Structure 1
Amino acid sequence: MCVGGSNYKIIKAFLAALSFSYLSKTLSGTIMKSSITQIERRFDVTSSTVGFIDGSFEIGNLLVIAFVSYFGAKLHRPKVIAVGCFTMALGSLLTAMPHFFMGYITITPQDSRWVGAWWLGFLIGGVTNFLAAIPFCFLPKSLKKPEEANDKTSYGLLENTRNKLTPAQSKPRKWSVILKDFYTSLKKVLSNRMYFTFLCCSLLQFNSFIGFLTYKPKYMEQQYGQSTSKSNFLIGLTTLPPVSIGIFLGGLIMKKYKMGIIGATKFAFIMSFLAYVTTLLHFFVGCENHVVAGMTVSYEGKPIPYHENAIFSECNSGCKCASTVWDPVCGDNGLTYVSACLAGCTTSVGHGKNTVFHNCSCLAVSSSWTGNNSVTLGQCPKSEDCSMNFIYYTVIQVISGFCYALGGTPAYLIMFRCVQPELKSLAVGLYTLIMRVLAGIPAPVYFGALIDKTCLKWGSTSCGQQGACRLYDSNAYRYVYLGLSAVLRGPSYLIGIFFYILIKKSFQNKKSRPIVNGGREDVPINKEDNCKIKEHLPGSSDVENESCI
């Protein structure tokens, strides 16, 4: 009883530590995604460059994840996890270091170009991962086995087994043998048609998701005129609750209806496709371009083609303004100007964000404007219709996220049933590796490269080179960003149909024996019910029945 109680405490401690480590890892990844826009502005880099920075977050897993998945069971697993957490902590801290090495962007928090403390989140993530690693350093390699001193029969059997071991069997295996076994296991996993099809389907889905999530805060800022802080707050508020509830309900539905692998595949496919169809509604809830004088409209307020934009006009010809500056101001006439100088302003009152510029000659160019010729810092807000479309966008996000999460648990468990029990660990590790190599790293880069194509106004670095994009074509941005995500995700459902056919054919062939369990359509996905069926199936071998114990 003492040993059992001790094991129970160890299991509880391990689960608590593991949960906290997952939380810390997710926090680090979320901080990276939410800081994309701020990093882009702070260091004056393009979206494709900052996408590569985001993708490099996954590069550290390339050489270790598959081997850790295979050899992890043979090593001290808690300490392996601790090493991983320490590595994550070091990586988060290193990401924040450029802020301290490169010096402080000479503006103050009152300036409209202030990007905030982008580095602070990485410091928090580093400390959190460091704390998560500590408990694993004190956990044992394995649970204690109950003593059987009073059981002479078991003791004698154990001694006989030990005596039969030859010296060759008692020696540790050579690395050449281990690597050969690894190659054989890897070949078995990849030659599994169901697993490989599931891998291809997931790869397309992950490319779509990672690219979409990476630039989601940027999209909310450029499309709907939301601030960086508000965008990140709303993403957390509209993503975590529906996704958490969806994952919980998905597992609950599986348990209640005792879904087999065929039923789970069908359920996961329907929920994912429903979420996909819902996300297509995003195309219809976009906003118009920012009305910027000389870029999207003329100084008179009339729309102009993008290739004919010209930020200089007669109203600012005598001001000798710099064309590379992007410090937008909002005029009382509703037009945004690239800078106060290009608005033709001659005087100013106040400082920081409270600065107001007066006697701006370019406001008088608009024939329909008869009010004050004053401008304030920042772009003009978008229309009320855009604010309403942003609400619709948020609702669509909540619904699609919930639907996809609802089928997430069944989809993940399907992978375990596609491979042999002894290959499950390798299958999961290989799956994670491929998703990160072929989706986590390249997706942010090519998404960012295509988003850069929609830029209307580029900033300049202190060296005079091209910096970060300051203004995007909202319509082109929407179609590129949403369209690429939809195009990647769409074909995955064709592969999903093929995967369902393979699953159905494979598991129906195994059910050619008499149907049990009340005429159920397919065998339950949980091991306990599956074992109960095996006990009553004619022809089940002793080995199969013993494996259920």
Structure 2
Amino acid sequence: MYVLLGNVLRGIGETPVQPLGISYIDDFAESESAALYIGCVQTISIIGPVFGFLLGSLCANIYVDVGYVDMETITITPEDARWVGAWWLGYLIAGTVTLLSAVPFWFLPKSLPMPVDKHDSSCTPEQTRFIKDADSPTLDHKIRPEEPANLHVMANEFVPTLKTLLGNPVYILYLGVTIIQFNSLIGMVTYKPKYIEQHYGQSASKANCFMGMINIPAVALGMFSGGVVMKKYKLGVMGAAKFAFGTSLLGFFLSFLFLAMGCENSKVAGITVSYTGEKDLSYQEQSLFSDCNSGCLCSTKEWDPVCGENGITYVSPCLAGCTSSRGSGRNMVFDHCKCVAVTNILPGNLTARLGQCLPRYNCDRVFPYFLALSVLSSFIISLGGTPGLMLLVRCIKPELKSLALGIHTLATRTLAGIPAPIYFGAIIDTTCLKWAYNTCGGRGACRIYNTSSYRIVYLGLTLGLRAVSFFLCIWGFDLLRKHIKREKEALSNDSGELELLRKEENSSATGGQFLLSPDCNPERETRL
């Protein structure tokens, strides 16, 4: 409950920065520089998780009850599946930093001078092309930035304005595409550290460190580079859409290579291999017992892994058939392990040490290639992030922009941020081979996964969602192209009518005078 309430407050505090901050920058920045500035903001927002993952890596390396227990009595290491890091420490540090970061916002001015080229920017063809004001009189009195907010007027205008916004098929399709892609992205990022842990045998601390030091900076660089490309080549609406689609599609095809970077399951006696070392064992609870431990009265619910000299992990010293031990704490060694001797033809005292056996050699060779491909694909996909956001901003009239960005943020976080980790986690849990049990007898955390099934389920679900979004993108391109063509024709007709109206007004010596900007839509005429 405390975490939930904390996230609610955090979400309220984020709103002035994103999405309203994006609208703020687009309103007051020069048109050709807006994409670069928004790219910088997006880059900074990505760099934040870099420090978050590094902080998580540090906290994960510290035992959860540090300061309350004697660390010499702890027999597990951060590589152990039972290790719980000091997760609470990160909240204290991040909360303090968040409070300090809010102080500079108190010194921002109430308003900024608008650049000259922005005076008529609300009437530019790109922004009037997609969403037009309805004829309803309630939409003729918009809340202007320089006017004090009137809650009564805002309440009356909200429903018709929302209908106008949601009546735009381009915006609705854009919303659908981003929701599906965010489901894929959030599910992938949430479980990527766990994937690295289970698949490549890395600790939680190292997995977070790799995400923070290698993966996230590539995303930040991609977001910034996307803004630079938009500024340099002055991409319009269709150009931004094509660039975002192309980079996402290229990253999608590169991600298929992850399916080839697999590792074999860890050798765990009675779960993935038999006690004789044979592979492809179909796990059942009875398979944990063998002749070498039949007289030991071992518990199958216990998970206290030991690594035998033969390179096979055993669920517990008891199930390894060990009869004695020496040492204490993490340095404890078990002697005369009968099950370890099953695969060893040489006589003698065969021992086992605490903890699972080290990762397989083939995984050590594949892991660097996995990291390199992860960086490359993340960079390419994130290149389209800023152009994609600018596509949304440029397709919305200024008075609808903040509402459109707010609905976009609400939809992605509600329909992607909440459900994605839930169903990703539920599907990944179907690949669990060995569950832990808590003191009350209920099922606890998963101790070991079928790595092959995990890889297929995790990557298959991620790629499948992105594939669905591409079909919507193709539909969206068709609508966008037709809409642009139709609005260009309408704009051409409006220009002829404007010229005729201007001549009539200039020749008139009586009545009100109309000043019409040649770049403006007739709906935006100003009577003096």
Q: Could you tell me the TM-score, scaled by structure 1's length? A: 0.70
1:298: how far off?
0.9
Kept in 2, the 8 Å contact 1:65–1:429? The answer is: no
Label 1:295 to 1:425 Cα distance change in 2 as closer, same or farther (>3 A): same
Q: Secondary structure in 2 aligned to 1:214?
A: helix
128, 135, 141: which one aligns with 2:97? 128
Kept in 1, the 8 Å contact 2:19–2:409? The answer is: no
Q: Secondary structure in 2 aligned to 1:134?
A: helix
Q: Secondary structure in 2 aligned to 1:467?
A: strand
179, 198, 207: which one aligns with 2:183? 207
1:118: how far off?
2.0
Label 1:289 to 1:71 Cα distance change in 2 as closer, same or farther (>3 A): closer
Aligned to 2:160: 184
Kept in 1, the 8 Å contact 2:20–2:405? The answer is: no
Q: Structure 1 CA distance, aligned partners of 2:5 and 2:454? A: 24
Aligned to 1:335: 312
Are positions 1:142 and 2:135 aligned together? Answer: no
Kept in 1, the 8 Å contact 2:240–2:391? The answer is: yes
Kept in 2, the 8 Å contact 1:108–1:114? The answer is: no
Q: Structure 1 CA distance, aligned partners of 2:227 and 2:294? A: 66
1:332: how far off?
0.6
Kept in 2, the 8 Å contact 1:58–1:440? The answer is: no
Aligned residue identity for 1:142: S
Q: Structure 2 CA distance, aligned partners of 1:427 and 1:240? A: 27
Which moved further from structure 2: 65-74 or 479-488? 65-74
Kept in 1, the 8 Å contact 2:222–2:382? The answer is: yes
Are positions 1:355 and 2:329 aligned together? Answer: no
State the percentage of identical aligned residues: 46
Aligned to 1:466: 443
Kept in 2, the 8 Å contact 1:65–1:433? The answer is: no
Q: Structure 2 CA distance, aligned partners of 1:273 and 1:371? A: 59
Q: Secondary structure in 1 aligned to 2:288?
A: coil
225, 228, 242: which one aligns with 1:249? 225
1:291: how far off?
0.7
Q: Structure 1 CA distance, aligned partners of 2:112 and 2:172? A: 35
Label 1:291 to 1:348 Cα distance change in 2 as closer, same or farther (>3 A): same
**Could you report, residue by residue, the CA deviation over 1:391-440 in whole angstroms, capped at 9, with x for unpaired residues?**
22111111110101111111110001222221011100100000010000
Aligned to 1:478: 455
Are positions 1:287 and 2:281 aligned together? Answer: no
178, 189, 212: which one aligns with 1:236? 212
Label 1:107 to 1:510 Cα distance change in 2 as closer, same or farther (>3 A): farther
1:499: how far off?
1.3
1:188: how far off?
1.3
Kept in 2, the 8 Å contact 1:247–1:408? The answer is: yes
Q: Structure 2 CA distance, aligned partners of 1:313 and 1:176? A: 77
Aligned residue identity for 2:76: D
Label 1:208 to 1:56 Cα distance change in 2 as closer, same or farther (>3 A): farther
Q: Structure 2 CA distance, aligned partners of 1:224 and 1:426? A: 44
**Could you report, residue by residue, the CA deviation over 1:281-314 in whole angstroms, capped at 9, with x for unpaired residues?**
1111111111100111111111222347621222
Label 1:381 to 1:371 Cα distance change in 2 as closer, same or farther (>3 A): farther
Label 1:512 to 1:467 Cα distance change in 2 as closer, same or farther (>3 A): same
1:1-40 equivalent positions in 2, closer than 5 A: none
* Displacement over 4 Å in runs of 4+: 52-74, 103-110, 171-176, 367-372, 512-515, 537-541
Aligned residue-pair number: 431
1:177: how far off?
3.7
1:53: how far off?
11
Aligned to 2:419: 442
Kept in 2, the 8 Å contact 1:70–1:426? The answer is: no
Q: Structure 2 CA distance, aligned partners of 1:178 and 1:373? A: 78
Aligned to 2:301: 324
Aligned to 2:239: 263
Q: Structure 2 CA distance, aligned partners of 1:450 and 1:57? A: 28
1:141: how far off?
3.2
Q: Structure 1 CA distance, aligned partners of 2:184 and 2:308? A: 39
Label 1:108 to 1:233 Cα distance change in 2 as closer, same or farther (>3 A): farther
Kept in 2, the 8 Å contact 1:295–1:311? The answer is: yes
**Could you report, residue by residue, the CA deviation over 1:460-496 in whole angstroms, capped at 9, with x for unpaired residues?**
1122211101011111111111111111111101111
Aligned residue identity for 2:266: H
Label 1:326 to 1:473 Cα distance change in 2 as closer, same or farther (>3 A): same
Unaligned runs of 5+ in 1: 1-51, 75-91, 146-170, 516-533
1:130: how far off?
1.2
1:108: how far off?
4.7
Aligned to 2:516: 542
Unaligned runs of 5+ in 2: 25-54, 115-146, 503-514
Q: Structure 2 CA distance, aligned partners of 1:498 and 1:404? A: 20
Aligned to 1:496: 473
1:378: how far off?
1.4
1:240: how far off?
2.7
Kept in 1, the 8 Å contact 2:266–2:360? The answer is: no
1:253: how far off?
1.6
Q: Secondary structure in 1 aligned to 2:266?
A: coil
Q: Structure 2 CA distance, aligned partners of 1:443 and 1:56? A: 20
Q: Structure 2 CA distance, aligned partners of 1:324 and 1:136? A: 54
Label 1:262 to 1:105 Cα distance change in 2 as closer, same or farther (>3 A): farther
Q: Structure 2 CA distance, aligned partners of 1:382 and 1:55? A: 37
Q: Secondary structure in 2 aligned to 1:456?
A: strand
Q: Structure 2 CA distance, aligned partners of 1:138 and 1:247? A: 28
Aligned residue identity for 1:319: C
Aligned residue identity for 2:197: E
Q: Structure 1 CA distance, aligned partners of 2:365 and 2:395? A: 46
